Copies of this chain bind each other. A is one copy, B any other.
Amino acid sequence: MALIVQKYGGTSVGSAERIENVANKVAAFRDRGDDVVVVVSAMSGETNRLIDLAKSIQSPPDPRELDALIATGEQVTIALLSMALKKRGYDARSYTGGQVRILTDSSFNKARILAIDEKNMRTDLAAGRVVVVAGFQGVDEHSNITTLGRGGSDTTGVALAAALKADECQIYTDVDGVYTTDPRVVPEARRLDRITFEEMLEMASLGSKVLQIRSVEFAGKYNVPLRVLSSFQGGPGTLITYEEEGMEEALISGIAFNRDEAQLTIQGVPDQPGVAYRILGPIGAANIEVDMIVQNTSADGSTTDLTFTVHRNDFDKALSVLKDVAAELGAREVKGDTKTVKISLVGVGMRSHAGIASTMFEALAKEGINIRMISTSEIKISVVIEEKYLELGVRALHSVFKLDQAPAA
């Protein structure tokens, strides 16, 4: 008998039929004696419909009123799911963010949770009720309705699990777990039974969009065991947790990649203190987020080359800023390429094992793939390569690190 928080996204509750399906899943946990708190999103398409309605009247819509408007989406779902549970003979009670009292700051459209009052939920759980909570929303100290921003229902789920000290927070999605890499690229990709918070953060930030990054950070911070499962199939999903001592860890947990990278290089910049700042300062000031940065000193030591990557959508703007900077600094040349991608090996196991990087580089070299940039962190090695080699590179790495096989116990 455990206390479980379950979160179902918009696709999982996208129709009356799917809501009935969620009720069946919840009922199964009740039947085995678990206490269940369910967090739900708006039915798929509903939030966009409401935003369009708002924009037809005011664009951009007033932030306070937009939150009051779109918060209705989750309120519809909690009522419907509670009805579906009651029909099955399971007592249930719906809660808006304000009714739980999920207290947030007053940053409409992107509020942060400050505190959760778990009193009413505890009373209902003790009375044998399923507690059904609207994700994505809260209230500020003046009872204004706030929302947490897109994907905020994951955060609601983790925050409730933390407040209630739940045994597990289950995030139901349309995939059945976290994979060693994207199965559309590598058919042999394997579902991971478990992954650490740190690895998941790296995977998520690299484009494995299974979970919202903020909710993973939150779960890690409050040590909430997080499980990713499918709403539509069975299976144990993937447990995201802390690395356990003595646990046999895989060297590499997964391979993430990002197709949206664009590369910019400024060459022959007179090398002097503060040059990196003078180049990247204006980029940041133009609201462009920089991902990887690599700096090399040239052979003669008097000039330097700096290469960085940005999102492809920002490439044109970044190139224009960089040309101005180059003129100012007396740099020799500015180059750019939008046909680049980033591949990253992620794994806490690489902390204690040498040779991962060289194995990676060798595998890519064997396939004739030229590496443009390299960047490393404690649990990640990233390389930037030409876009056309993406699939080849990912498959080669998946194979050389034997990710299709479960690690030895």
Contact = CB atoms under 8 A, between A and B. Distances in A.
Interface of A: 16, 19-20, 50, 53-54, 56-58, 61-62, 64-66, 68-69, 71-72, 75-76, 78-80, 82-84, 86-87, 93-94, 96, 98-99, 143-145
A164 to B, nearest CB: 19
B79 A54 contact: yes
Contacts of A76: 50, 53, 69, 72
A69 B79 contact: yes
Copies of this protein, total: 2
Contact of A57 (B19, B50, B66, B72): B19
Given A50-B76, A58-B87, A66-B79, 9 more contacts: A19-B57, A61-B83, A62-B86, A65-B82, A65-B83, A66-B83, A68-B75, A75-B75, A99-B143
Contacts of A16: 53, 56-57
Contacts of A71: 75
A369 B271 CA distance: 109
Nearest to A19: B57
25 contacts: A20-B57, A50-B76, A53-B76, A53-B80, A54-B79, A54-B80, A57-B83, A57-B84, A57-B87, A62-B83, A64-B93, A64-B94, A65-B80, A65-B83, A68-B78, A68-B94, A69-B76, A69-B79, A69-B80, A71-B75, A72-B75, A72-B76, A96-B145, A99-B143, A99-B144
Nearest to A52: B16
Contacts of A56: 16
Nearest to A66: B79
A99 to B, nearest CB: 6
A51 to B, nearest CB: 11
A317 B82 CA distance: 37
Contacts of A99: 143-145
A289 B348 CA distance: 76
Contacts of A78: 68
Contacts of A75: 68-69, 71-72, 75
A131 to B, nearest CB: 13
Contact of A84 (B58, B143, B144): B58
Nearest to A68: B79
Contact of A65 (B57, B62, B65, B79): B79
A80 B61 CA distance: 9
B79 A58 contact: no
A55 to B, nearest CB: 9
A254 to B, nearest CB: 39
Given A72-B75, A75-B68, A76-B69, A83 B98 contact: no
A82 B58 CA distance: 10
A78 B144 CA distance: 13
